[in-house]
């Protein structure tokens, strides 16, 4: 059977799911295609983005950081300003509207850092939907404030104790729940991952970041950036900002994966960065680069930031990398922490540890660039949720 929208990104993507879910994916694709053509749906989405999320989010010239690094001018796309503190709300609200349109009254979400869980719980509260969030026990421990937030917002948080007890296991449990309750439930997947049509839907709802950023660069700075940098876990904030510049061939796109304790340590989440473990495979319904052992078992990952701690990368990123339209690198836990501190002190902005990986790449790259060149960074979220982790790390625990 053919799909309405392209279901692959080159050789990546696809729909590797049990038969029980195929009809739900087909229904979701149909709902998405019809919603996109429906002016009323688009108006409702735009209205909520403006009046509820607070869009457009600002563009900030990080003058002191730029001076300190002594090279390129650095601009921050401030997704940390979005309601709930990260870009995740863009997609959560979009998909929650889709769920309503499909007549589904229950939404399911997985969460790593808790940002997508909070965003989903928020969207569910706003639209009057029931919300269940699956979260690994390890992540629950390191993201406690977000767990409390989700509960306040009326969501049920279900701890996941199977496997590595992190994001990948939360996704397994969410999919199992979805298989069981598929008729009345929408699975609100939080990243540009999973089976078609999710990577496309998530990119479309996150593309607002790139559209705004491009317009702001032209209006406020008068030119496009030379480089766009974003962190890449599943890759939703990155694909969101990249999509705005994908046709501007001279704009370099850089994704930053979690280097954890360093690539050679083996404790990381650098799918592209470690050819010994990062190979093309299938996980959670999609074909992409996956960290795995020789026997095809999914590898354990490590990152200081829960939001980047995942074994697979969104399939569109795999394609962009093959096409050499985007380039991917990594930053270690330590580099991310240094970047976190530097941004706090030079700009008065506490970034999420995820976004700090993107700042870490800026620290490496800006000094090598000229003063009239421009780096645009997607500051995908705020760091309040990470304070416990950072305090522990800075105290050397």
Partner 1 sequence: MNRIENAFKNKPIFMPYFPLGFPDLETSIDVIEALAKNGADLIEVGLSFSDPLADGPVIQKATQVALEKGITVKKSLEAVKELRKRGVNIPLILMGYYNPMLAYGLEKFVFDALDAGVDGFIVPDLPMEESEEFRAALSGAASEVEAPLIQMLAPTTPDNRMELIARNAKGFIYFVSVTGVTGERKSISDGLEDLIARVRKHTSIPVCVGFGIGLPEQARSVGMVADGVIVGSACVRAIGEGANPVVTAKEFARNFQEALKMKIWNDR
Contact set with partner 1 (CB under 8 A): 1, 3, 7, 14-24, 162-163, 168-169, 171-172, 175-176, 179-183, 279-285, 290, 292, 294-298
Nearer to partner 1, 177 or 316 (CB): 177
Nearer to partner 1, 104 or 149 (CB): 104
- Helix residue ranges, H only, 137-218: 137-142, 144-152, 167-181, 198-216
Both tokens of 197, joined, read 């049509």
Give the SS3 label for residue 293.
coil
Q: How far is the CB of 111 from partner 1 (least distance, A)?
A: 17
Both tokens of 180, joined, read 């069981």
Q: Which residues contact 151 (CB under 8 A, 6 or more apart)?
A: 157
Nearer to partner 1, 277 or 365 (CB): 277
Q: How far is the CB of 295 from partner 1 (least distance, A)?
A: 5
Nearer to partner 1, 17 or 59 (CB): 17
Between CA 251 and CA 111 the distance in angstroms is 32
Nearer to partner 1, 153 or 298 (CB): 298
Nearer to partner 1, 118 or 291 (CB): 291
Question: Residue 56: which of 190, 168, 172, 209 has the closest Cα?
Answer: 209
Q: How far is the CB of 122 from partner 1 (least distance, A)?
A: 27
Between CA 34 and CA 27 the distance in angstroms is 11
Nearer to partner 1, 196 or 365 (CB): 196
Strand order in the sheet with 252-260: 59-61, 73-78, 374-379, 227-231, 252-260, 326-332
Q: How far is the CB of 240 from partner 1 (least distance, A)?
A: 26
Between CA 114 and CA 309 the distance in angstroms is 12
Q: Which contiguous run of DSSP H or E holds residue 126?
A: helix 115-127
- Catalytic (active-site) positions: 88, 110, 380
Q: How far is the CB of 302 from partner 1 (least distance, A)?
A: 16
Question: Residue 89: which of 113, 53, 57, 54 has the closest Cα?
Answer: 53
Nearer to partner 1, 220 or 293 (CB): 293
Beta bridge partners of 133: 109, 157
| CA angle 72–74–80, rounded 5-degree value | 165
Q: How far is the CB of 161 from partner 1 (least distance, A)?
A: 10
Q: Is the peptide bond before 231 cis (omega within 30 degrees of 0)?
A: no
């Amino acid at each position: 059977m053919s799909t309405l929208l392209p279901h692959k990104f080159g050789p990546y993507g696809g729909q590797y799911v049990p038969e029980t879910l195929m009809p739900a994916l087909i229904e979701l694709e149909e709902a998405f295609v019809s919603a996109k053509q429906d002016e009323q749906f688009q108006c409702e989405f735009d209205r909520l983005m403006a009046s509820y999320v607070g869009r457009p989010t600002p563009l900030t010239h990080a003058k002191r950081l730029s001076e300190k690094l002594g090279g390129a001018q650095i601009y921050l796309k401030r997704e940390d300003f979005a309601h709930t503190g990260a870009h995740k709300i863009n997609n959560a609200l979009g998909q929650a509207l889709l769920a309503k349109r499909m007549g589904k009254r229950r939404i399911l979400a997985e969460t790593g850092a808790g940002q997508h869980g909070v965003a989903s719980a928020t969207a569910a509260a706003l639209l009057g939907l029931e919300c269940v969030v699956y979260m690994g026990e390890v992540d629950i421990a390191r993201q406690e404030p977000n767990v409390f937030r989700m509960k306040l917002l009326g969501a049920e948080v279900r701890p996941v104790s199977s496997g590595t007890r992190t994001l990948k296991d939360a996704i397994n449990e969410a999919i199992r729940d979805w298989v069981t309750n598929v008729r009345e439930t929408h699975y609100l997947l939080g990243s540009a991952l999973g089976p078609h049509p999710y990577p496309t839907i998530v990119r479309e709802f996150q593309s607002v970041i790139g559209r705004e950023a491009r317009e702001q660069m032209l209006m406020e700075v008068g030119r496009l950036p030379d480089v766009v940098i974003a962190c890449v876990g599943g890759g939703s904030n990155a694909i969101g900002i990249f999509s705005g510049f994908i046709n501007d061939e001279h704009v370099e796109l850089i994704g930053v994966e979690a280097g954890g304790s360093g690539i050679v340590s083996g404790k990381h989440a650098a799918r592209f960065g470690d050819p010994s473990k990062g190979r093309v495979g299938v996980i959670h319904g999609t074909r992409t680069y996956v960290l795995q052992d020789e026997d095809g078992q999914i590898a354990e990952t490590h990152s200081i930031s829960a939001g980047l701690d995942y074994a697979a990368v969104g399939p569109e990123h795999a394609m962009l990398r093959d096409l050499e339209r985007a380039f991917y690198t990594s930053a270690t836990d330590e580099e991310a922490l240094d970047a976190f501190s530097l941004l706090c002190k030079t700009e008065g902005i506490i970034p999420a540890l995820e976004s700090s990986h993107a700042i870490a790449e800026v620290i490496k790259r800006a000094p090598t660039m000229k003063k009239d060149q421009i780096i645009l960074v997607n500051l995908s979220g705020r760091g309040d949720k990470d304070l416990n982790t950072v305090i522990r790390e800075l105290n050397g625990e």
